[in-house]
Amino acid sequence: MGGAGMSATDIMALVRPDLRAFAGYGSARRSGVNGSIWLNANESPWASPAVGAVSSQRYPQPQPPALRRALAALYAVAEDRLLIGRGSDEAIDLLVRALCRAQRDAVVISSPVFGMYAVSARLQGAPLIDVPLRDSPQGFVSNLEQVAEAVECSVAHLVFVCSPGNPTGHAVPLAEIATLAQRLAGKAVVVVDEAYGEFSNEPSALGLLEAHRNLAVLRTLSKAHALAGARIGCLIADPELIALLRNCQAPYPLPAPCVELALAALAPDALSTTRERVRVVCAERTRLSAALCELPCVRQVYASQGNFLLVRFEDAGKAFERLLAAGVVVRDQRAAPQLDDALRISIGTRTENDAVLSALCEMEVTA
């Protein structure tokens, strides 16, 4: 399963030719100089007068060393494989902009799936190739054989594999990802989006990076680590690709207060709390799924490896309105391919999940 035959040079051949030597913006914090009196960035010499504010009068480090060390330790990867950014969204956008020439280099996805892949492709003018997921009795299934064929029959430089899938909840077996990456070596970068990886029983694709240089993994602190408002995510990939993407990134992508929040969330005690919360979410996912399956208004509840459930209803519109009337906001999936009768329900606290069940049960009574 090794990636012999693909060198670091090969992966750079997938980058837009006009960006391969791109140096990016030389910000004050990238100059590498140090001192005690900072007069090189036109900053205020005083701290913010806001009470309790994190010291923010200085521009932050583009890739804060302490946060890089903490994330590298969390994911058990080398620091030079990490690019930290504003959630996974920024990394998706950077990958598309750096690897895809407008009207030429395609992006391959498998719908229904997270919408930002298609949004980034459209903004770049990159063709979008959709190899739909197959809805089987066991749930949605990825067809990576067809994905590979789609790449080989086109000029596609990026493949996004969402695992666990959003909104489907299915996980892609690691062996299938390895096979896809090996087959597409020198042809495309395979990006595995593991935003919900902490909730999954499937091993992370991070363990495949050494063997497959055209593989990249997206991780985020937004979900399991409860930092959606801080917007901290990272791309983990070949060091040469990471260095190139840093040159394409905004000069100061990480606000200092957000970095402080992330470091606090990655402290040992906080990580222990996070692991316990993940366990609770998975238990609640099982309980809520079983209870929903008993409701007459529910057609199907898909098995999920994420912190949510995809549910088909006899009348999804009515279910959505009933939940909203009870103050429960869920994600309406009816406009997504293959999901015209479905809602996505995030796993909340036990009390919040009971509110979902209560609202749907009341809908049955008043029907």
List pLDDT tens digits, range 266-312: 999 999 999 999 999 999 999 999 999 999 999 999 999 999 999 99
CATH architecture of 8-30+56-266: 3-Layer(aba) Sandwich (3.40)
Backbone angles phi, psi at 346, to 5 degrees: -70, 150
Distance from C-alpha of 234 to C-alpha of 253, rounded to nearest angstrom: 12
Please give the biggest Cα pair distance in the chain. 71
Q: Mean pLDDT throughout 156-176?
A: 98
The DSSP-derived string for 269-287 is HHHHHHHHHHHHHHHHHHH
Confidence band (pLDDT; 50, 70, 90) for 31? Answer: low
Beta bridge partners of 216: 191
Least confident of 15-19, 99-103, 133-137, 360-364: 360-364
Give the integer Cα–Cα distance in Å for 138 and 332: 22
Distance separating the N- and C-terminal Cα atoms of the chain = 56
Q: Comparing C-alpha atoms, which of 322, 347, 50 is closest to residue 223?
A: 347
Low-confidence winner among 40-49, 226-235, 358-367 (lowest mean pLDDT): 40-49
CATH superfamily label, 269-366: Aspartate Aminotransferase, domain 1 (3.90.1150.10)
Which residues are registered as beta bridge partners of 342? 312
Q: Specify the DSSP element, H or E, that contains 218.
A: strand 215-220
**What pLDDT is attached to residue 367?**
52
Residue 58, Cβ density class (10 Å: 0-12 exposed, 13-18 middle, ≥19 buried): middle
- Domain extent listing, the chain: 8-30+56-266, 269-366
Work out the percent of the chain whose per-residue pLDDT is above 90: 81
Mean pLDDT, the chain, rounded, equals: 92
Dump pLDDT digits (tens) for 225-272. Answer: 999 999 999 999 999 999 999 999 999 999 999 999 999 999 999 999
Rounded to 5°, angle at Cα 34 from 70 and 248: 60
Closest CA relative to residue 63, chosen from 44, 88, 81: 81
